[in-house]
């Protein structure tokens, strides 16, 4: 495959900026540390702009849906109205216009928190349903171990009046602190090694997810 | 109770009931609640980004800071504006070099973070389980702790081997993992199943706590209106 000059330029930009930041982690050199801090500051600012692009795309998609077949358009209208109402209210509050205050707290307390905790609450029922389906559809050794561990840990954590079994609690603690830690640590190390491999592929120019 | 709080409590109650209606199946009320939530959270995020990052870190220093700092500020400002062109397909090419910069820095942060934040600390934590002096200093049962350390070590290694997907074609032409890797991977799968089981128990406890809190909120609200 023939690579154009644009590809080389983009790869050089990604590799150069990445190597400066990576070296800043491991090499104690003031100029590198300064450059790394500056690049990370720019990245934070650029990540903010990326979020703005994401929000803009979301709005554009729902504006497009508004013109499409109903009732999907009604949901998009609800989203757009709630977006602009919140945007106007919070902007007025944050920039101290008209002496407005407490609107962001109101939004958090009466819209965001109730929906978040209700979704979490619904999860309690949905999880039981999903676990029952798992037992129905895929009853093998590992799903039995998975479910038995969940039930055992939940029972071990519960407090029953006049029924305290120290051995049960000790067994639960051992399960959480030894085999579960081993499995969790294996997964974490696997994720870490995967991240290193993926990152190094980008820094070597083998992967170019930015295009070009 | 102030009128805004009363209005807020009823908004919260309605949204809670709308979300709970999902238990009867996916329906319009649930979708309305979710779309309101997405709209509000997106607007919240946009305002917070502008107020906490873009306004104080980029715009304000540009007008009130000393000109020497302009270079540090003007570069991300220009790059940010170029990045905004990604929203339009016709001009999206202008933002590609900025995306390349972000990917490079992101990859470096991922590698550095994984090495210093995960691989070294987790490996050291596994090695330290066999630190006999530390076990004795903590007045713990040495054989028991060493045995537990051994189980953790076997679990970590076998879980890692479970994620090894290197295969080789056998003489019969079947492509599969070596038999010894497959055997260790099965042991690793047991440890992973236990780890996920414990994680699920934690998530379920949190979900149950949220269900109780929401239920209590609804009951308390109804009783507060029923009582004179």
CA A32, CA A39: separation in Å to the nearest integer? 10
Low pLDDT (below 70) residues in chain A: 1-3, 70, 97-100, 212
Report phi then psi at B175, rounded to 5. -95, 115
Q: Rounded mean pLDDT of chain B?
A: 89
Residue A78 token pair: 């609800």
Q: For a pLDDT cut of 70, what percent of chain B falls above it?
A: 98
Measured between CA atoms, the residue of chain B closest to residue A58 is: B42
Cβ partners under 8 Å of residue A176, min gap 6: A153, B198
Mean pLDDT computed over B3-27: 92
Residue among B47, B59, B108 with most chain A CBs within 10 A, to mutate = B108
Which is more confident, B169 or B143? B143
Residues of A in contact with B85 (CB under 8 A): none
Q: How confident is the model at residue B58, as a pLDDT? A: 83
Q: How confident is the model at residue A2, as a pLDDT? A: 62
**In angstroms, what CA-CA distances link B100 with A32, B79, B106?**
20, 11, 10
In this complex, the residue of A86, A109, A212 whose CB is nearest that of residue B44 is A86
Q: How confident is the model at residue B76, as a pLDDT? A: 86
Q: What is the dihedral angle through the alpha carbons of B162, B168, B169, B170, rounded to the nearest 10 degrees?
A: -80
Mean pLDDT computed over B47-66: 84
Q: How confident is the model at residue B63, as a pLDDT? A: 78
Q: Which of A141, A71, A116 is nearest to B27 (CA)?
A: A71
A173 touches chain B (CB under 8 A): no
Are B211 and A11 inside 8 Å of each other by CB?
no
At B227 the three-state DSSP class reads coil
pLDDT (tens digit per residue) in B67-122: 777 777 888 888 988 988 888 888 888 889 999 999 999 999 999 999 999 999 99
A204 touches chain B (CB under 8 A): no
Q: How confident is the model at residue A1, as a pLDDT? A: 57
Are A186 and B106 inside 8 Å of each other by CB?
no
In this complex, the residue of A25, A119, A121 whose CB is nearest that of residue B112 is A25
Could you report the predicted ipTM of this complex, rounded to two decimals?
A: 0.85
Q: Do you find a cis peptide bond into B166, omega within 30 degrees of 0?
A: no
Q: How confident is the model at residue A165, as a pLDDT? A: 81
Residue with tokens 């009951």: B219
CA B109, CA A46: separation in Å to the nearest integer? 15
In this complex, the residue of A42, A185, A187 whose CB is nearest that of residue B79 is A42
For chain B, the residue count is 228
Inter-axis angle of helices A30-67 and A5-26, nearest 10: 130
Is-contact B197 A148, C-beta < 8 A? yes
CA A51, CA A60: separation in Å to the nearest integer? 14
Does pTM surpass 0.90? no
Annotate chain A with three-state secondary structure.
Answer: CCCCHHHHHHHHHHHHHHHHHHHHHHCCCHHHHHHHHHHHHHHHHHHHHHHHHHHHHHHHHHHHHHHCCCCHHHHHHHHHHHHHHHHHHHHHHHCCHHHCCCHHHHHHHHHHHHHHHHHHHHHHHHHHHHHHHHHHHCCCHHHHHHHHHHHHHHHHHCCECCECCHHHHHHHHHHHHCHHHHHHHHHHHHHHHHHHHHHHHHHCCCCCCCCC
């Amino acid at each position: 495959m023939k690579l154009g000059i644009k590809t080389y330029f983009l790869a050089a930009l990604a590799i150069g900026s990445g190597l400066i930041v990576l070296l800043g982690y491991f090499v104690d050199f003031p100029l590198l540390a300064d450059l790394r801090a500056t690049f990370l500051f720019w990245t934070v600012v650029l990540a903010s702009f990326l979020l703005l692009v994401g929000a803009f795309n979301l709005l554009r998609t729902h504006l497009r849906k508004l013109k499409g077949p109903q009732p999907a358009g009604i949901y998009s209208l609800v989203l757009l109205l709630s977006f602009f109402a919140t945007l106007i209210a919070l902007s007025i509050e944050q920039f101290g216009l008209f002496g407005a205050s407490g609107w962001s707290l109101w939004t958090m307390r009466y819209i965001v928190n109730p929906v978040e905790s209700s979704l979490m609450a619904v999860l309690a029922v949905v999880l039981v349903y999903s676990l029952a389906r798992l037992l129905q559809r895929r009853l093998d050794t590992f799903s039995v171990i998975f479910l038995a561990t969940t039930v055992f840990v939940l029972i071990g954590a519960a407090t029953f009046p006049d029924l305290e079994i120290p051995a049960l609690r000790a067994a639960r603690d051992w399960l959480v602190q030894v085999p579960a830690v081993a499995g969790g640590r294996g997964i974490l190390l696997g994720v870490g090694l995967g991240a290193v491999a993926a990152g190094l592929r980008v820094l070597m120019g083998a992967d170019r997810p930015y295009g070009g | 109770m102030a009128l805004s709080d009363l209005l807020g409590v009823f908004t919260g109650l309605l949204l809670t009931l709308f979300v709970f209606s999902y238990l009867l199946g996916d329906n319009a009320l649930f979708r309305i609640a979710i779309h309101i939530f997405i709209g509000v959270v997106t607007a919240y995020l946009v305002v917070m980004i502008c107020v906490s990052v873009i306004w104080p870190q980029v715009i304000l220093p540009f007008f009130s800071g000393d000109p020497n700092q302009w270079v540090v500020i003007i570069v991300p400002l220009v790059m940010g504006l170029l990045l905004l062109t990604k929203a339009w397909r016709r001009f999206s090419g202008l933002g590609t070099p900025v995306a390349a910069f972000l990917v490079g820095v992101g990859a470096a942060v991922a590698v550095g973070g994984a090495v210093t934040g995960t691989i070294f600390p987790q490996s050291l934590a596994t090695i330290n389980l066999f630190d006999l002096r530390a076990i004795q200093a903590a007045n713990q049962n040495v054989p028991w702790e060493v045995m537990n350390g051994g189980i953790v070590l076997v679990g970590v290694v076998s879980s890692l081997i479970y994620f090894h997907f290197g295969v080789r074609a056998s003489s019969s032409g079947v492509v599969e993992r070596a038999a010894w890797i497959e055997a260790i991977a099965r042991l690793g799968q047991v440890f992973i199943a236990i780890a996920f089981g414990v994680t699920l128990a934690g998530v379920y406890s949190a979900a149950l706590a949220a269900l109780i809190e929401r239920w209590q909120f609804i009951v308390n609200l109804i009783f507060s209106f029923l009582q004179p």
